[in-house]
Chains A and B, each alone.
Chain A
Amino acid sequence: MTLRAEAHSPAATEVRRFGPVQKWVHRTTAALMGVCVVTAAFLYIPQFAELVGRRELVVRVHECAGLALPVPVLVGLVSRHFRADLGHLNRFGPHDRTWLLAVVSRDKRRSSRPAAKFNAGQKIYASWIAGATLVMLGTGLIMWFTHLTSIVWRTSATFVHDWLALTIGIVIAGHIGMAIGDPEARGGLRTGKVSREWAKREHPLWRP
């Protein structure tokens, strides 16, 4: 990556998309989420459970990773740039509505998919996964500390935790699939920089 940055004149061809805080928050959250998903598979899918065993240890790792999952975002809040990105993810303009309508009508033309720093899909994904993580944390705590609530609440929490886990698994697979489909977007989170051309193509309303 360094070679490439040296070969081109950075100012002309590349724009900064993410700073070190954003990169760190994304990487740490992804790692913790990965641990949650993998340990969940070990606990839940019989074939994997047979492979791994050691149920008590796996449960402990799953609990700790889950508890730590919101921490990177909370730490990231110290950064002004990270807070600004959260603002971009939160606020929807008229162009986001156009983008979403284009998705609904399967309109793949670039001109009908206007986006600023984040497109509407990324915004909805970010908000949904944040909410879903908090629901998993809440239901997980009810399952973990069994003496806090009655059996009815625990069974209900388990029900939501199980089905939402399945949903999150599918959504994250989609998230990773889209990242695989766009190496430059992935590179943006790895190096913090993207080409001006990519930014203009994918995020025409973004003024970096």
Chain B
Amino acid sequence: MNPEQPEEPGKPAPPPQRGTPVGRRVLLGTIGLGALGVVTAPTLQNALESFLGAAAGKDPTGLTGLLPNGGGFRYYSVTTSVPHKNASNYRLTVGGLVDRPKTYTLDDLRALPQTRLVKDVQCVTGWRVPDTPFEGVRLSDLLDAAGVRSGAGAVHFTCFDGAYTESLTLDQARRSDVLVALRMQDKEIGHAHGGPVRLYVAPMYFYKSAKWLSGITVTERVERGYWEHRGYDVDAWVGKSNGRDDDPTS
């Protein structure tokens, strides 16, 4: 049964003096501290967030951003790599149940009236970035320009990462705080943040704000998006979905 060679004699099986079971106490103590940490987390987290938030503002190295609750955005992508697009090769198509399907270049979008919103960004995994400016074209303007046909009830979004999808009902899509965003934090949106063009759905969890937006399709009813196939709520109102109670963002 036991493949080991017997150890050399010299140490009797039960040693004469066994010693104190400090190891067990350390193990149980660590588990106890972990449990205590979970129980006191709401208090600890508030204190740490305000401290790290203040520290991050004065930290030129950006290292505080790597600490838990250190503030700032986190990068999530569902694919291995995402192609880079710029003014020369970026295209946004609007199609589906519309009278006038259209393809926009980046310059076309820049030429349309721009709206700037400054609101908090709330991720469903918990992080929140306060007062983040987004600027772009209202989705409702693009839908009006395309002429939504009767019988349409929803809008489906596709992305040039080739995998991510999102959806909104037509009523949600027509809200004035839903943008096809070209700028974030008063800069052009970089690749890592979903640039050059991403969706911005201010009142919902940030997974609704699809990065690398490339297609807008008007459909009859809501088709579930990427994360919604994996259990996330379709109507992702901040504070009223996904079992969370964050403060609303819009």
Residues of A participating in the B interface, judged by any CB pair closer than 8 Å: 15-16, 19-21, 44-46, 49-50, 52-56, 79-81, 84, 89-93, 96, 123-124, 126-128, 130-132, 134-135, 138-139, 146-147, 150-153, 155-160, 162-164, 166, 207-208
- Which A residues touch B243, using CB under 8 A? 146-147, 150-151
**Interface pair A92/B20, CB less than 8 Å apart:** yes
**Interface pair B22/A131, CB less than 8 Å apart:** no
Q: B129 at the A/B interface (Cβ < 8 Å)? A: no
Number of cross-chain contacts by CB at 8 Å: 159
- Which A residues touch B42, using CB under 8 A? 152, 155-156
**Interface pair B34/A138, CB less than 8 Å apart:** yes
**Interface pair A123/B4, CB less than 8 Å apart:** no
Encode B198-236 as 1/0 by CB contact (under 8 A) with A: 000000000000000000000000000000001100000
**Interface residue total, chain B, C-beta cutoff 8 A:** 56
Q: List 27 contacting pairs A-B, 8 Å CB cutoff, sorted by A.
A: A21-B4, A45-B66, A53-B79, A53-B80, A55-B77, A81-B2, A84-B7, A90-B24, A92-B21, A127-B22, A127-B25, A127-B30, A128-B30, A134-B27, A134-B30, A134-B31, A135-B33, A135-B35, A139-B34, A151-B245, A153-B38, A156-B39, A156-B45, A160-B41, A207-B10, A207-B11, A208-B7
- Which B residues touch A128, using CB under 8 A? 26-27, 30
- Which B residues touch A90, using CB under 8 A? 21-24
Q: A197 to nearest B CB, angstroms? A: 16
Q: A91 with B5: in contact, given A56-B78, A152-B42, A156-B39 (CB under 8 Å)?
A: no
> In the complex, which residue of chain B has the Cβ closest to the Cβ of A130?
B27
**Interface pair A159/B23, CB less than 8 Å apart:** no
By Cβ-Cβ distance, the 9 closest A-B pairs, closest first, are A131-B30, A135-B34, A156-B41, A162-B68, A19-B4, A91-B19, A90-B23, A127-B26, A92-B22
**Interface pair B19/A93, CB less than 8 Å apart:** yes
- Which A residues touch B5, using CB under 8 A? 16, 19
Q: A179 to nearest B CB, angstroms? A: 20
A169 to B10, CA, bound (A): 38
> In the complex, which residue of chain A has the Cβ closest to the Cβ of B13?
A84
**Contact partner of A79 among B4, B28, B33, B79, CB < 8 A?**
B4
**Interface pair B30/A54, CB less than 8 Å apart:** no
**Interface pair A53/B2, CB less than 8 Å apart:** no
Encode B29-52 as 1/0 by CB contact (under 8 A) with A: 111011101110110110000000
Q: A50 with B7: in contact, given A90-B24, A151-B244, A160-B38 (CB under 8 Å)?
A: no
In the complex, which residues 44-93 of chain B have their Cβ closer than 8 Å to any Cβ of chain A?
Answer: 44-45, 65-69, 73-82
**Interface pair B41/A155, CB less than 8 Å apart:** yes
- Which B residues touch A163, using CB under 8 A? 37, 68
- Which A residues touch B68, using CB under 8 A? 159, 162-163, 166
A59 to B78, CA, bound (A): 11
A96 to B21, CA, bound (A): 12
**Interface pair A131/B31, CB less than 8 Å apart:** yes
Q: B18 at the A/B interface (Cβ < 8 Å)? A: yes
A208 to B6, CA, bound (A): 11
**Interface pair A160/B30, CB less than 8 Å apart:** no
> In the complex, which residue of chain B has the Cβ closest to the Cβ of A50?
B75
